[in-house]
Amino acid sequence: MKSLSVRLFAAMAVALAASFLSVENAVAEQAPRVKFATSAGDFVVEVYPDKAPKTVANFLQYVKDKHYDGTIFHRVIDNFMVQGGGFDAKFNQKPTRPPVALEASNGLKNDLGTIAMARTSDPNSATAQFFINVKDNAMLNAPAPDGYGYTVFGKLVSGSEVIQKIKGTATGAGGPFTSDVPKTTILINSATLEKKS
């Protein structure tokens, strides 16, 4: 009787583990991926609509509208983050849709390799600009640094060497900015939604 109970328990444990695995796989299959082709190389991010639905929908609409094509990484700070998606190579700011509500309290952290939305001091001001954390930036997690935090909505899944290359580029003044602009333009040639295989 005891061995039957042990076997039954073991079978239930295996079934439970399998169901968790299938749920994880289903979530992974649903996570959209966006490929950025840049002048420094290509990288791919995976985004999580289950964690930041408004932010992801907003981001993917900009991708579908080709907003990011021809924009630059205009703010690069080694050992912090790389930011882009708002200006063309001549530093003209691209028009955007209305901002999205902050979703920083979604459990995702501003850790190395994550993608988050840039914003102004207004927590609900994020539009198209994004940044990729090049180290763990706990000081950006809600409620820091200003009581609100910054919305993380995905992570880098390939091309980390490209982000490393971008973060290490020499910077200085450029366009309307007094610092942190790459001296060699880093252009986003295209951002495209990857098709499910």
Question: Does residue 26 surpass a pLDDT of 50?
Answer: no
Q: Give me the residue label for tokens 């910077």.
A: 171
pLDDT the model gives residue 196? 76
Q: Give me the residue label for tokens 């499910």.
A: 196
Instruction: Pick 9 or 166 by higher pLDDT.
Output: 166
Which pTM value belongs to this model? 0.85
pLDDT the model gives residue 132? 98
Specify whether the CB–CB gap between 157 and 46 falls below 8 A: yes
Per-residue pLDDT tens for 59-114? 999 999 999 999 999 999 999 999 999 999 999 999 999 999 999 999 999 999 99
Question: Does residue 23 surpass a pLDDT of 50?
Answer: no
Phi, psi of 95 (to 5 degrees): -65, 150
Peptide bond into 176 cis (omega under 30): no
Given CATH 2.40.100.10, say whether it is the number of domain 31-193: yes
User: N- to C-terminal Cα distance for the chain?
Assistant: 48
